[in-house]
Structure 1
Amino acid sequence: NWSVSGDPTEGALLTLAAKANYWREVLERGEPRVGEFPFDSVRKRMTVITEHNQKLYAYTKGAPDIVLGLCSEIMSGGKVSPLTEEMRQELLRVNEAMAAKALRVIALAYKPVNKREQANQEEYVEKDLVFLGLVGMIDPPRPAAVKAIRVCREAGIRPVMITGDHQVTAEAIARDMGFPLEGKGILTGTELDQMTDEELVAQVEDISVYARVSPNHKLRIVKAWKKRGHVVAMTGDGVNDAPAVKEADIGIAMGKTGTDVTKEASSMILADDDFATIVAAVEEGRGIYDNIRKFIRYLLSCNIGEVLTMFLAALVGVPLPLLPIQILWVNLVTDGLPAMALGVDHSDPDIMKRKPRHPKESVFSGGLAGKILGRGIQIGLGTLLVFMLAYYLSDGNLVLSRTMAFTTLVFSQLFHVFECRSERHSPWELGFFGNRYLVIAVSLSVIMQLAVIYLPALQPIFKTAALNGLHWLIILAVSGGRTMLTGLYYLLFATAKKAGKPAYQ
């Protein structure tokens, strides 16, 4: 099995030659390379000079329109003849037809170098070439990349394709990958040169594909997007891509084909050179940020509930509902385990259908502060209500009242942790068993809470008393009432949705 190592275009040309039984290693032994004019994005061509039987030959490959402009003759049927204007136009039409099939087209030419002393002069060597032919190669879009483009658009991320390929080739590839090309959807480097920076800024949001561009064009494009107030990510691999990669808010260098200069200029290196990996990283990042918000929401609302319970009890002049050891138990066991499990929770199923958040957005944005405060007040009032109800119904049995308040606080937090799994979906939509770590954490918390209530050895330590069925009914109604009501609403809504009727009818 053969595999290409290095530049895929060079690998495709070597493969083509090998199929015709021309092997690079064999050719270089009989016709060694003695000079080279390397490729760059401005020249759009490269030339090597070899020596055979004490004679020098130049071989050039590059963009068809560029190479054809350097040719004065053509080889056909083994004979060299003048290259007429009609032939030139016909070759350009063939190039357009190949490019329309999403082929990357390269022109090949050669020339005997008669003046050895001028072999190092680019202007002499790359002039009056003999045209040999056109080579078409295809680099079909990976299915994962096509899907990634679609996911990007759904996520509010605008992908833009910037390539040095011919405009027709770029347009064909862009259509295959799902880029919108309505209106002025594609712009060439030549057209870009004729635009001022102000004109580019005004039109940049309408352009999805740039063809035949140079590294300087890439830098202008990045600056134009930033002037429109967007957060810009830019990928690059060559040395000349480094300025654009550095200018972008998020510079991404290719791990396999990227140069050291570009990697140094970047803020992230893409190890597998796959665009789909960038989209996966965006999804992972959104999930991590969501989990941070879940963690904050859960801990702060629970702590507000605990503080309010003690504060309001002091205000109304009733005995303290909780003892220090009970508060410590809640903070160490009931708060800690579920909160850590939230940190590894799964992302929402529609996380990549949201618009990007502003980079300066507060972590409490989107109504999170109100949710924290509201749920904290509810937990605090519910705990105090159960304490006062138990205290007066039990004729001042302080141990029983504190046990019920203690348990209400714990179970309010355990019910609430499932609500914290998403800010947009109820736990009934997501399911209660989607996060096995959370299920384990909640189960352990329940078992340990039951242990401090019912085990005789622990009751004196935590100052608790055994609870009966009526006590549990009150505790679960107060602590889990909200969750049960949302479950009932979801059940009615889901049933109505299946029947095609509004849920409120």
Structure 2
Amino acid sequence: MKFREMKTQEIENALQTSIKLGLNKDEVTKRQRKHGFNELQEAEKQSALLLFFAQFKDFMVLVLLVATLISGILGEYVDAIAIIAIVFLNGILGFFQERKAEKSLDALKEMSAPQVHVLRDNKWIKIPSKEVVVGDVLKFASGDRIGADLRIIESFSLEIEESALTGESQPAVKTSEPLLFDADGIGDEENKAFMGTMVTRGSGKGIVIATGMDTAMGKIAHLLQTAETMITPLQRRLEQLGKVLIATALVLTVIVVLTGVLQGHDVYTMFLAGVSLAVAAIPEGLPAIVTVALSLGVQRMIKQQAIVRKLPAVETLGCASVICSDKTGTMTQNKMTVTKLWSGGKTWDATGTGYAPEGEFLDGERAVSVQAEKSLLQLLTFGMLCNKADLVRKGDRFTLDGDPTEGAMFVAALKAGLTREQLFEKFTIVKEFPFDSTRKMMSVIIKDEAGKHFVVTKGAPDVLFARCESILWDGKTAPLNKEYQASVHREMEGLASLALRMIAVGYKPLAAGHVVLHEEEAEKNLTFMGLQGMIDPPRPEVKQAIKECREAGIKTVMITGDHVTTAKAIAAQLGILKGKEKVIEGKQLNDLSFEELEEIVEDVAVFARVSPEHKLQIVKALQNKGHIVAMTGDGVNDAPAIKTADIGVAMGITGTDVAKEASSLILVDDNFATIKSAIKEGRNIYENIRKFIRYLLASNVGEILVMFFAMLCALPLPMVPIQILFVNLVTDGLPAMALGLDEPEDDVMKQKPRSPNEGVFARGLGWKIISRGFLIGVSTLIAFYIVYRANPDNLEYAQTVAFATLVLTQLIHVFDCRSERSIFSRNPFGNKYLVGAVLSSLLLMIAVIYYQPLQLIFHTIAIPARDWLLIIGMSSIPTFLLAGSFLARKSK
């Protein structure tokens, strides 16, 4: 049905309702049973049990579970229990983090649950919006949130902010009259109100025509069900690593079996040896350490007012090459602010942003006293008198009650030291002619202390200016000749070029005893007083954040439903629009195929007047060009693109429930600059993951090679399985976890974004693992061989020396892993957690070697002081040999 074209009586008949009585209780129950509650359907949430089991589906975890099974089959029950404990710990960590994020999100949703006034059984009652049904009659006024889609049937100076759906911060003027022209979008539905939007001015009534998923908000939310959830770069890399480890394990098994058989050993024995060695190749602690590193990053993000809903999301931000951001409420404050004023040939700038009544007025660079500027004082005074807005203070925060445009003028007057209470001591409002969309003006008749009456009018500049016959110039009233007209038009054009919304103010004195009954009479033969120019200003922290992102090789793209002039102005202020970068409107996108959009998308910095479908296509086009895309927004219109992006970022305060559900990251304080901090955190987390992958795998390569070389040389095994397990869990685990807490290197935000296709062994990591692992294995084997050859009958002692050498070699090597450059490029004591982990590992190793109960478990013998010289010497060779090689290359 085209409710926009229907009269009230026709809507009543169509929906079987009454605007006088409303629906009765039985009819409401019947409709609720048929259509369900008025709420948006969410994707089916995982139960706690399913969420827990979901932590075990990653490829690396599956590899460990296979290793557990093999260890059990081989009778290595201690190994099996240890590995399964690590896997279980990893699952618990991931489960509680994601569960915690969901609870935080639920708390945010509770804060935004609206209540509505509904007519039921001829009585007005207040109910939760979820209980509303089609045919209900609702009433609403300034400050109310619309609870369902309505066809407006009464409208009194009604304006509604629809930025959650359209992206435009300027409230839409509403009417109750039938509309016969075609609507291009929600912004043209002048006789409808939509779920989730906010009444900013006036009041009205409406009949509910759609609820839940049938609303405009619900239809956009439906796009989320078809939007694809992207696999993160970290998940891809860990899966790749898991496959490499599986391949390595298989190759090792084959080589060991063949080598052993050729040396005369039986096949079964060598198969068991080969599988044992293959299991040793898998770093059991890696998934848990990755989870811990991500969890700790999440905790740091919480302190910066960000809730991470999915653990890998933090690391993914580190790969981001493009940030697509909504303008209204994300880059801007969604608070109209007067920034320029003009009267009588003079222009003033107003400082301060938002609703806090703080700022000053500048004549050029010089601050002026408003009391000394008569024209400015009058302009601000009349702007406050002809005004219905009010400011509410809650602690240090100020919120607006009323229309944003009027709020901007009201706050400007407060900055000048004016208050409504003081003005009402001097002036009395005698009569008011409210604003309506036809006249585009509002007027009041005021009486001053002397008993004189004035008409004060404000409204659209072109309309009000046409009603003027004189102008206030240099404090005097003068006829509005062509010269003055040209001056006013030049000023209007100048303010328009800055994308400022303009409100004109005019007035006229009334003769004594003259009574004005109609607005037509009041709003003619006016004196033009001046203009107030306002804009939804950028958030103060955004410009610097965008600059730092650009330095990090990350492009910021503005995607907005607002007008192109406003979008360009804000983008230029923020440093988004530079050089030859383009600005494209939604109507131009309609004429482009997806392939054509792909061709130009990297050259565009601003997309204006776009629909939710356009946003989705832009994100997909950037992804097809190889970019990792972060999409930020707060409205329902942003949600499909937020979900499709590699990482979706929603606003916690102004964000809709649908946007939050679609996101991976929620900014609790709506601060765009937090995204920059998250990118830095993400980059650091990934670099730390590379550090402990390097450390763990080099250690494991060393363990494998020392065992393998011993087999090749027909030597006894240099270590027993329980010693290898100790190394894997303690010596590997504690320092690796501490590497996950390493502070970022100084140039982390000066580097270009890494490629999402970058392999886990990229940038020389594979070579570093193999070369370090080789030297670790050789050094350990040499120490073992020297001691074993000196006393072949005491194998357990030689194994103890090999064990101590391996542990100490790895603990020295961990400091080399802190930098891509050299062990000498960073302060070795800069990571206090690493120092603590190394000392703890050393103490545990000493306890295993010298504490008799542990000697029995780990098959060790106390090492005399003289042999420690051999151990320390062999342990130092790998790291310092390679560090010296690095310095030699650097000096050339």
Secondary structure of the structure 2 residue equivalent to 1:353: coil
Secondary structure of the structure 1 residue equivalent to 2:467: strand
| 1:409 alignment partner, one of 777, 800, 806 | 806
The one-letter code matched in structure 2 to 1:427 is I
In structure 1, what is the equivalent of residue 181 of structure 2? Answer: none
In structure 1, what is the equivalent of residue 275 of structure 2? Answer: none
In structure 2, what is the equivalent of residue 76 of structure 1? Answer: 471
The one-letter code matched in structure 2 to 1:383 is T
Q: CA 1:483/1:377 → structure 2, altered by over 3 Å: closer, same or farther?
A: closer
Secondary structure of the structure 2 residue equivalent to 1:135: strand
1:457-496 CA-partner distances (Å, limit 9, x unpaired): 6555532132333x33332333221322344456668xxx
Matched, 1:503 2:891: yes
| 1:381 alignment partner, one of 775, 778, 781 | 778
In structure 1, what is the equivalent of residue 747 of structure 2? Answer: 350
- Distance in 2 separating the partners of 1:280 and 1:366: 25
Tell me how far 1:410 sits from its aligned partner.
Answer: 0.6
1:445-466 CA-partner distances (Å, limit 9, x unpaired): 1223233334566555532132
Map 1:367-446 to 2 at 5 A: 367-394=764-791, 396-422=793-819, 424-446=820-842
| 1:450 alignment partner, one of 824, 836, 846 | 846
Map 1:278-357 to 2 at 5 A: 278-357=675-754
Q: Which runs of 5+ in 2 are unaligned?
A: 1-355, 358-396, 447-454, 508-515, 521-525
Tell me how far 1:275 sits from its aligned partner.
Answer: 2.1
Map 1:100-119 to 2 at 5 A: 104-108=500-504
Map 1:77-156 to 2 at 5 A: 77=472, 90-91=487-488, 93-95=490-492, 97-98=494-495, 104-108=500-504, 133-137=530-534, 144-156=541-553
Q: CA 1:204/1:457 → structure 2, altered by over 3 Å: closer, same or farther?
A: closer
The one-letter code matched in structure 1 to 2:679 is V
1:339-369 CA-partner distances (Å, limit 9, x unpaired): 2212222223222223323445544444434
Tell me how far 1:402 sits from its aligned partner.
Answer: 1.6
Secondary structure of the structure 1 residue equivalent to 2:466: strand
Alpha carbons 1:232, 1:250 under 8 Å: kept? yes
| 2:868 alignment partner, one of 467, 472, 477 | 472
Alpha carbons 1:58, 1:113 under 8 Å: kept? no
Q: CA 1:257/1:13 → structure 2, altered by over 3 Å: closer, same or farther?
A: farther
The one-letter code matched in structure 1 to 2:834 is L
Greater CA deviation, 274-283 or 285-294? 285-294
Tell me how far 1:409 sits from its aligned partner.
Answer: 0.8
The one-letter code matched in structure 2 to 1:387 is F
RCO higher in structure (CA 8 A, sep ≥6):
2
Greater CA deviation, 260-269 or 339-348? 260-269
1:158-206 CA-partner distances (Å, limit 9, x unpaired): 01245647749945x65554446223x3536499579745665444323
Matched, 1:207 2:601: no
In structure 1, what is the equivalent of residue 672 of structure 2? Answer: 275
Structure with more of its chain in strand, by fraction: 2
- Distance in 2 separating the partners of 1:315 and 1:33: 99
- Distance in 1 separating the partners of 2:542 and 2:654: 18
Q: CA 1:263/1:326 → structure 2, altered by over 3 Å: closer, same or farther?
A: closer
Question: TM-score, normalising length from structure 1?
Answer: 0.73
The one-letter code matched in structure 1 to 2:552 is A
Alpha carbons 2:501, 2:533 under 8 Å: kept? yes
Alpha carbons 1:110, 1:130 under 8 Å: kept? yes
The one-letter code matched in structure 1 to 2:845 is Q
Across the aligned residues of Structure 1 and Structure 2, the Cα RMSD in angstroms comes to 4.7
The one-letter code matched in structure 1 to 2:828 is F
Matched, 1:485 2:485: no
Tell me how far 1:432 sits from its aligned partner.
Answer: 1.1
Matched, 1:15 2:15: no
Q: CA 1:404/1:138 → structure 2, altered by over 3 Å: closer, same or farther?
A: same
Matched, 1:4 2:398: yes
The one-letter code matched in structure 2 to 1:483 is T
Secondary structure of the structure 2 residue equivalent to 1:5: strand
- Distance in 1 separating the partners of 2:435 and 2:406: 18
Tell me how far 1:115 sits from its aligned partner.
Answer: 8.8
Tell me how far 1:145 sits from its aligned partner.
Answer: 3.1
- Distance in 2 separating the partners of 1:225 and 1:83: 55
- Distance in 2 separating the partners of 1:132 and 1:232: 49
1:308-336 CA-partner distances (Å, limit 9, x unpaired): 32333233321221123322332332222
Q: CA 1:247/1:409 → structure 2, altered by over 3 Å: closer, same or farther?
A: closer
- Distance in 2 separating the partners of 1:28 and 1:282: 56
| 1:253 alignment partner, one of 641, 645, 650 | 650
Greater CA deviation, 411-420 or 159-168? 159-168
Q: CA 1:372/1:384 → structure 2, altered by over 3 Å: closer, same or farther?
A: same
Greater CA deviation, 193-202 or 230-239? 193-202
Tell me how far 1:59 sits from its aligned partner.
Answer: 5.5
Secondary structure of the structure 2 residue equivalent to 1:4: strand
Alpha carbons 2:584, 2:604 under 8 Å: kept? no
- Distance in 2 separating the partners of 1:140 and 1:300: 51
Alpha carbons 1:159, 1:208 under 8 Å: kept? yes
Alpha carbons 1:400, 1:464 under 8 Å: kept? yes
- Distance in 2 separating the partners of 1:418 and 1:98: 60
Greater CA deviation, 143-152 or 404-413? 143-152
Alpha carbons 1:152, 1:158 under 8 Å: kept? yes
Aligned length: 465
The one-letter code matched in structure 2 to 1:445 is S
- Distance in 1 separating the partners of 2:626 and 2:484: 49
- Distance in 1 separating the partners of 2:811 and 2:687: 19
Q: CA 1:237/1:168 → structure 2, altered by over 3 Å: closer, same or farther?
A: closer
Q: CA 1:486/1:207 → structure 2, altered by over 3 Å: closer, same or farther?
A: same
Q: CA 1:170/1:359 → structure 2, altered by over 3 Å: closer, same or farther?
A: same
1:106-140 CA-partner distances (Å, limit 9, x unpaired): 33368999699xxxxxxxxxxxx997643235777
- Distance in 2 separating the partners of 1:28 and 1:363: 74
Secondary structure of the structure 1 residue equivalent to 2:843: helix
- Distance in 2 separating the partners of 1:243 and 1:29: 49
Tell me how far 1:76 sits from its aligned partner.
Answer: 2.6
- Distance in 1 separating the partners of 2:686 and 2:440: 51
Secondary structure of the structure 2 residue equivalent to 1:208: strand
- Distance in 2 separating the partners of 1:486 and 1:209: 49
- Distance in 1 separating the partners of 2:534 and 2:627: 35
- Distance in 1 separating the partners of 2:436 and 2:543: 38
Alpha carbons 1:155, 1:354 under 8 Å: kept? yes
- Distance in 1 separating the partners of 2:693 and 2:837: 17
Percent identity of paired positions between Structure 1 and Structure 2: 44
